[in-house]
Copies of this chain bind each other. A is one copy, B any other.
Amino acid sequence: MPLAPVQETCAGCPIRHRAVCAHCEPQELERLERIKSYADIAAGAPIFFAGEPMRHVASVVSGAAILSRTLEDGRRQINGLMLPSDFIGRPWRETIPFDVTAASPVRLCRFERIAFEKILGDTPHVSERLLSMTLDDLDAARDWAVVLGRMAARERISAFLLILARRLGRTDRHDPSRVTFSLPLTREAIADLLGLTLETASRQMSALRRDGVIETEGRSTVIVPDLARLQEEAQDDDDGTGLT
């Protein structure tokens, strides 16, 4: 159901992610280049804490980061899953709204926030692009409410796997409906993303495996033998071409 943002990288651009490089002039890229730095974070390690001053904005290069909020009694909800090409951070905001954690080993490309804002002010097309991306993210976040508010456990797991298949999946050379990807989240994280317990998440994964909707190899590799079948399970009417 929630539409996966399309991954866009522009070949030849030194900053290889959709947030800032699309349609940039050489001198603009150079300006961005000067304020950028890379950061590698180990799986499970915190990246930012909610409420902290926001010194950087960043783009995910590889791995998966999660945004989360934890209630006083320990209940945790993952509010966002950030995959390669996703943008983390908020220009013109002083503090970080959610805890950001590495779900798997993550590489970030960071930009010093204040300097990034200056560039935004000078280059309307970057600003416009950021607005467009944010509107996409807003739609995706609102779409997620359908998963959390109205879907059964099995449908939630299916919707989640479908998103990963679309964004991370490698299509089989001989059978385009067969897709393989590596799960970047533990069962607990999957549960916290989907509003379930880890036991229910595990049980539903097992059930999907029993029913032939997915296959697994080792602990983290998932194979979807027939993407259309998974779409049905996820109540997804979208054909994935993004042409709706």
Q: A interface vs B, CB < 8 Å?
A: 1, 51, 67, 69, 71-72, 75-80, 90-93, 95, 97-98, 120-121, 124, 127-128, 130-132, 134-135, 137-139, 141-146, 148-150, 192, 194-195, 235, 237, 244
- Bound CA–CA A131/B136 (angstroms): 12
Residues of B within 8 A of A145 (CB): 77-79, 141, 144-145, 148, 195
Q: Which residues of B contact A192 (CB under 8 A)?
A: 149
Contact A149 B194 (CB under 8 A): yes
Q: Chain B CB within 10 Å — which of A51, A149, A194 has the most?
A: A149
Pick from B71, B130, B235: contact of A71, CB under 8 Å: B235
**B143 touching A79, Cβ below 8 Å:** yes
Cα A134 to Cα B141 in complex, Å, equals: 12
Complex Cα–Cα for A95 and B134 (A): 16
CB distance from A168 to the nearest CB of B (A): 21
Contacts of A124 in B (CB 8 A): 121, 124, 127
Closest to A121 in B: B124
Q: Would you give the shortest CB distance from A232 to chain B, in whole angstroms?
A: 11
Nearest first, the 7 closest Cβ-Cβ pairs linking A and B are A149-B195, A148-B148, A141-B141, A79-B142, A77-B146, A77-B149, A75-B150
* A32: min CB distance to chain B, Å: 18
**Complex interface: chain B residues within 8 A of A120 (CB):** 128
Contacts of A72 in B (CB 8 A): 235, 237
Q: Which residues of B contact A150 (CB under 8 A)?
A: 71, 75-77, 195
Q: Let me know if B79 and A146 touch, CB within 8 A.
A: yes
Using A124-B124, A144-B145, A148-B195 as known contacts, list a sample of 15 further A-B pairs with CB atoms less than 8 Å apart, ordered by residue number in A: A69-B143, A72-B237, A77-B145, A90-B135, A95-B244, A98-B142, A127-B128, A127-B131, A138-B141, A141-B142, A141-B144, A141-B145, A148-B148, A148-B149, A149-B195
**Residue pair A131, B91 in contact (C-beta under 8 Å):** yes
Taken together as a complex, chains A and B put the C-alpha atoms of A97 and B3 apart, in Å, by 11
Which B residues touch A77, using CB under 8 A? 145-146, 149-150
Closest chain B residue, CB of each to CB of A130? B131
A16 to B49, CA, bound (A): 37
Give the chain B neighbours of A90 by CB distance below 8 A.
Answer: 135, 139
